[in-house]
Structure 1
Amino acid sequence: MKKFPAKNWYGGTPASLLAEAVNGMVRALVRRQFAQSGEDWTSFVFGSADALITRQDIERIEQQALATGYRFTSTSLVSLRERPDAYKDATGLGVDVSAFSFEHHDAITGSIDANGREQRGTGDNVVRHAADVDGVARYVRTSDQVIRYMQNGVPPDTIAIIDDSGCTLTAPIIDRFKGIICASGTVRSHLGILAREYGIPCLMNARISGIRDGDRIEIEASAAAKTAQDYQAGRESTARIWRFAR
């Protein structure tokens, strides 16, 4: 029987200075507590480690990282809202939604065409629809907004623009959207799957610029859907996003 060769998981280039620093502090903590336990490794791992390595120990490691001035980049807006001391506002959460706009540096933009549309980005199309879809851009970024929409209704023709964690955030109201633009994920993300089930045009992994809340926009829902093979092969297969002249 052929055996897999042993691999040195720690011999490569560090993923980041932060990851290397935190991993180093965790390893030092484990070594220290293991030495003090007087146990063999198996007994320590499956026994006293849970009592000897505490939540407070891990929190102290986090505080050491934050004491350097470093702030984490949030992957969900709730992180910034609950821990503003630990996360940097790279998402513009502190900006009034009426003045907010995604400004992705890699957004593909263009000049105004004969229909009065200006390309302001692209995204991965979940399902190919018979026609493109136009509507009103509305950023949906917090649970408070979702609750207000549940209470008062989603405005007609809403094309929701979402940061991330879109399925969890918008599930209660997703069926009321005319379209969806999500700035993260893939066509196989939960948000994409749910949009497909409801028949809602949806672009994932969108890169956009210059679209404000209330702008009239159009998404190229008639573009070819992006496939798993496209992702695996690194092929570009995107749908365009236009903003109508203000």
Structure 2
Amino acid sequence: MPIDNALYVRPPASPLVEATLGLVQELVRDRLRTSGRAWDDFTLAGADDLLTREDFAAIEARLLASGHRFDWSASISVAERPDAYKPADDVAGGAAGFTHPEAPSGEADEQGRALRGVGDNVVQHAGDVSGIARYIRSNDRVLAYLTDGVPPGTIAVIDDSGGTLTAPIIEQFAGVICAGGTVRSHLGILTREYNIPCLMNAKVAGISDGDRVMIEASAPAKTTEDYQEGVERVGRVWLLAGEGA
């Protein structure tokens, strides 16, 4: 192929990316050769006919046959395709919620706020935001909220860092606590656009569905440089003592 002799001034990508790229290039070379077409004709007119969805499904199958399992950005992926994704401790997303062992915790302060976790703040807001924690990690719950509406004041507690599961209802959230991703993940971008306070890569424990919580949305936002330099910059999550749904 014309790109075979291109010089790449970069280190190798991850083993998964390199393996996928190699399999795709192998497929394209084979189809180009058997098509008998010139490269320009193949890429501009023939590729859509000669490279099919089934071809790329076969590439995925080869990766899985090697023993590889994909990382997931939403536990719903594990529930729907356990053969393709790394297992999760809790794919049901019940009312008990997350129990991250690294989540900091503390007793209630004079304002009745008990520390229950931290996360990377997407945008620094003028003030903190409080509401009712609701775990949204299943299709059934999203469909129910699409039908009946998201209850006002909902702080969505999710692991859907790509926003795939929750995008249809995200604008109705008062805030988001996401156990995954970074401030540059798709969910972070969506919450920024909708001006919704959001903590990404959150580590929380001791928050049940229906608890009243507060997000430290006024904390400084995490930056790309913070990730690159290993700077710890977080917003806190508090359980509001004595309050519930």
In structure 2, the CA distance between the partners of 1:48 and 1:222, relative to structure 1 (3 Å rule), is closer
Deviation of 1:189 (Å): 0.9
**For the structure 1 residues 193 and 49, does the alpha-carbon distance in structure 2 shift closer, same or farther, using more than 3 Å as the test?**
closer
Unpaired runs of at least 5, structure 2 = none
Q: Which residue of 2 aligns with 1:3?
A: none
Q: Relative to structure 1, is the Cα distance of residues 54 and 104 closer, same or farther in structure 2, using a 3 angstrom cutoff?
A: farther
Indicate the residue corresponding to 1:139 in structure 2: 135
1:231 aligns with 2:224: yes
17-26 or 111-120, which deviates more: 111-120
Secondary structure of residue in 1 paired with 2:83: coil
CA contact (8 A) 1:218 1:242 kept: yes
Q: CA deviation digits over 1:94-115, x for unaligned, max 9?
A: x34113316275x5x1432533
1:148-207 deviation digits (Å, cap 9, x = unpaired): 2344454464322132244872544643x443323435386112221x2xxx5x123242
CA contact (8 A) 2:177 2:202 kept: no
Check if 1:189 corresponds to 2:189.
yes
Q: Which amino acid aligns with 1:193?
A: E
Alpha-carbon distance in structure 1 between the residues aligned to 2:94 and 2:20:
35
What does 1:1-246 align with in structure 2 at a 5 Å threshold? 8-9=7-8, 12-76=10-74, 79-80=77-78, 82-90=80-88, 92-93=90-91, 95-101=92-98, 103=100, 105=102, 107=103, 109-115=104-110, 117-124=114-121, 126-130=123-127, 132-152=128-148, 154-155=150-151, 157-163=153-159, 164-166=161-163, 169-172=166-169, 174-175=171-172, 177-183=173-179, 184-186=181-183, 189-194=189-194, 196=195, 202-210=197-205, 211-224=207-220, 226=221, 230-232=223-225, 236-244=232-240
Shift of 1:244: 4.6
Q: Is the 8 A contact 1:159 1:181 kept in 2?
A: yes
**Aligned counterparts of 1:166 and 1:56: Cα–Cα separation in 2:** 26
Aligned-pair distance for 1:43? 3.1
> How many residues matched?
227
Residue identity in the other structure for 2:191: L
SS at match of 1:87: coil
How far apart in 2 are the matches of 1:111 and 1:79? Answer: 33
Distance 1:112 1:64, change over 3 A: same
Alignment CA distance shift 1:233-1:114 (3 Å): closer
Q: Distance in 1 between matches of 2:122 and 2:55?
A: 45
When the two chains are superposed, the root-mean-square deviation of aligned CA atoms in Å is: 3.4
- Aligned-residue offset at 1:124: 0.5
Q: Which has the larger radius of gyration?
A: 1
Q: Do the aligned partners of 1:125 and 1:238 also contact (CA within 8 Å) in 2? A: no
Instruction: Note if contact 2:69-2:85 (Cα within 8 Å) is conserved in structure 1.
Output: yes
Q: 1:152 to 1:207 in 2, by over 3 A?
A: same
CA distance, structure 1, for counterparts of residue 162 and residue 199 of structure 2: 12
Structure 1 segments unaligned to the other structure (5+ residues): 1-5
Q: Structure 2-normalised TM-score?
A: 0.72
